[in-house]
Amino acid sequence: MSIRQILHFPDPRLRRQANPVLQVNDSIRRLLDDMAETMYQAPGIGLAAIQINEPWRIIVIDISPTRDQLQVFINPEILSREGEQELEEGCLSVPGIYEPVTRARRIRVRALNRDGEVIEFEAEDLLATCIQHEIDHLDGKVFVDYLSRLKQTRIRKKLEKRGREQGPKSPTSEYAIGHESTAAAAGRKHLKI
């Protein structure tokens, strides 16, 4: 397993459409392990493969306060949506920015698990937001796309400036911006998805 570099907005590689996984094999499982390790180390509560420059439809999530309930979803699809909720979101690819986003409160999801088996389930509240946020990544979207043009421009400028100040990105660059405790990452106040 290894910790991988997380791409930061407005990196154009975050805009790619991720490819469906045709076969869940050992190389996909190795990628899942790297994604989990990278997410826990960041720390965040969700990560899409595209965020570490791997254009596959794979997401990992752990919203548990104890950080030991890893969920992995391969080729996730939303079958239905119900209700609305607004949560303040953040993103490991948009460090230090937190803004409210309105999404469905309850969703029905189909995906493959780590063994390549089809799973179908309902998700609500925080998990529903996380899954919707991550699936957006797979379609080349980031949560700032939901904000006003003005806010998007401000965020882009801020992060471009930071990127220039920090020079070439390293896997530890997140820490330079401000390391938050694991508890905060898992808590509802600062969601880094």
Active-site residues, by number, are 134
Is residue 101 a contact residue for Ni ion (CB under 5 A)? no
Does residue 193 belong to the site contacting Ni ion (CB under 5 A)? Answer: yes
- For residue 43, whether the previous peptide bond is cis, meaning omega lies within 30 degrees of 0, is yes
Shortest separation between residue 66's beta carbon and Ni ion, angstroms: 22
Output the smallest distance, CB 89 to Ni ion, in A: 8
Closest CA to 123 of 67, 59, 190: 59
- Closest to Ni ion by CB, 89 or 111: 89
Nearer to Ni ion, 28 or 193 (CB): 193
Binding mask 133-162 for Ni ion (x = CB under 5 A): ------------------------------
The set of residues, in sequence order, having a beta carbon less than 8 Å from that of 173 and lying 6+ positions away, is 8, 166
Find the helix or strand (DSSP H, E) in which 41 lies: helix 26-41
Please list, residue by residue across 13-44, b when 16 or more beta carbons sit within 10 angstroms of its beta carbon and e when fewer do.
ebeeebeebeebeeebeebbbbbbbbbbbbbb
Give strand pairing partners of 191.
Answer: 89
Size of the site for Ni ion (CB under 5 A): 2
Among 91, 112, 135, 159, binds Ni ion (CB under 5 A): 91
Nearest residue to Ni ion, by Cβ distance, number only: 91
Q: Which two tokens stand for residue 53?
A: 């420059």
Q: Is 97 in the site for Ni ion (CB under 5 A)?
A: no
Segment contacting Ni ion by CB under 5 A, of 60-68, 86-94, 101-109, 169-177 = 86-94
Q: What residue ranges in the chain does DSSP mark as E strands?
A: 46-48, 58-61, 71-82, 85-91, 94-103, 106-112, 118-124, 191-192
CB nearer to Ni ion: give 31 or 193: 193
Q: Which range binds Ni ion by CB under 5 A, 13-21, 52-60, 83-91, 110-118?
A: 83-91
Taking CB under 5 A as the binding criterion, the range among 13-21, 80-88, 89-97, 106-114 that sits at the site for Ni ion is: 89-97
The gap from C-alpha 4 to its chain's centroid, in whole angstroms, comes to 14
Binding site for Ni ion (CB under 5 A): 91, 193
